[in-house]
Amino acid sequence: MSTSAESSRVDPPKGPGNPDLDSDLRDYLEVLIADRLEQRILDRENKRFRMLYVVFAVVTAIGLGVFLNQIGISADAAVEKRLGETLAATEESKEFTKLLLLGTQLDVKNAFTAEQRDEATALAISLYSKPKVAADKSYVSIVESIIDALAAAGNTTQIANICRGTKTLCTDNEGIAITVMGTFGRKHLGTNGINGAKEDEVSLFRNAASSLRDSGPYQGVAWAYIVLADFHDGVAEDKILEQLKIIGEGNATVRNDFNTSVERLLDRTQMSDDPSPEIIAVERLAKRFTAKFASAMPGSNEPQQPS
């Protein structure tokens, strides 16, 4: 089975969809199964490929053959055997299956109605109260995919609702936390006063950033948002200098990721293909920050004292 980027590239179907897997989505999934299944199984940690892996992780529990027949897709014995060996079954649940279908809809079609958005949000929160479901990695991956789709569409209210309704899920999972931090972090950095991020949104941002700062692959990114947020909020200069010193004297990867993240925030075109006033404001904030603390930035050899 080919797994090359060229052979596996498939453009998602256009037009409206529904959580019952319409014909466009069915055709799209059929091609995905043919061209991407092996790659998705092998590359489980790749965020882009995670959702179809989850589809099969879940349907293994309810019967792969039944599910594939339902959506008009056939799988040969070798594929079914491989899936059975590699994918963990998850709890059978009508609500869970509906959340799965909605999550798949959002992931592969990049489009959803307000009703689908609200239903996915409600189901994510409702299922969190069921311990066996909430503890399942498939549930977490589906919610991550839904939050990614909501973030891409600018639906911050629904993201906040999911985070509030799932307690610590948005900080315990790195893939979710990085999206929450970026979404609400840019909103906070790019706005002020009455038009600024709401208090609970700032709290979600701060909690997500703190959870990523001390361990894992996003420490440098988290530090960039934390330091810029402190600068935005008027935190004392000596505290910011102390933070920059900690970053500069710390792990080289974290230091490099911090500098790269700040550089990205300095350029609106790296943050968005169509920069909003909020993104432009973040760029301006980052430029003021780097101008003020140029000699204290990690990698600089010149010490800086508070003015």
90 and 200 share a domain?
A: no
* Structural domain count of the chain: 2
Q: From the CB of residue 103, how many other CB atoms can be counted at a distance below 10 Å?
A: 28
Structure confidence by residue, pLDDT tens digits, 4-44? 433 334 444 443 444 444 555 555 555 554 444 444 444 44
> Is the pTM here over 0.85, yes or no?
no
More confident of the two residues 235 and 7:
235
76 and 144 share a domain?
A: yes
Instruction: Say if residue 169's pLDDT is above 90.
Output: yes
Is residue 20 included in any domain, yes or no? yes
57 and 153 share a domain?
A: yes
Domain that holds residue 62: 1-158
28 and 154 share a domain?
A: yes
User: Which residue, 128, 158, 188, sits at the end of a domain?
Assistant: 158
User: Which residue, 125, 158, 191, sits at the end of a domain?
Assistant: 158
123 and 174 share a domain?
A: no
Is residue 163 included in any domain, yes or no? no
Instruction: Say if residue 221's pLDDT is above 50.
Output: yes
Is residue 279 included in any domain, yes or no? yes
- % of the chain surpassing 90 pLDDT: 46
How confident is residue 197, by pLDDT bands cut at 50, 70 and 90?
A: confident
More confident of the two residues 139 and 20:
139
80 and 140 share a domain?
A: yes
107 and 149 share a domain?
A: yes
- Which of 265, 264, 257, 226 lies closest to 243, judged by CA? 226
Is residue 108 included in any domain, yes or no? yes
User: Which residue, 158, 184, 205, sits at the end of a domain?
Assistant: 158
Average pLDDT, the chain: 76
153 and 180 share a domain?
A: no
183 and 207 share a domain?
A: yes
Is residue 225 included in any domain, yes or no? yes
154 and 174 share a domain?
A: no
204 and 101 share a domain?
A: no
Structure confidence by residue, pLDDT tens digits, 245-268? 999 999 999 999 999 999 999 999
72 and 176 share a domain?
A: no
Is residue 195 included in any domain, yes or no? yes
Instruction: Say if residue 82's pLDDT is above 50.
Output: no
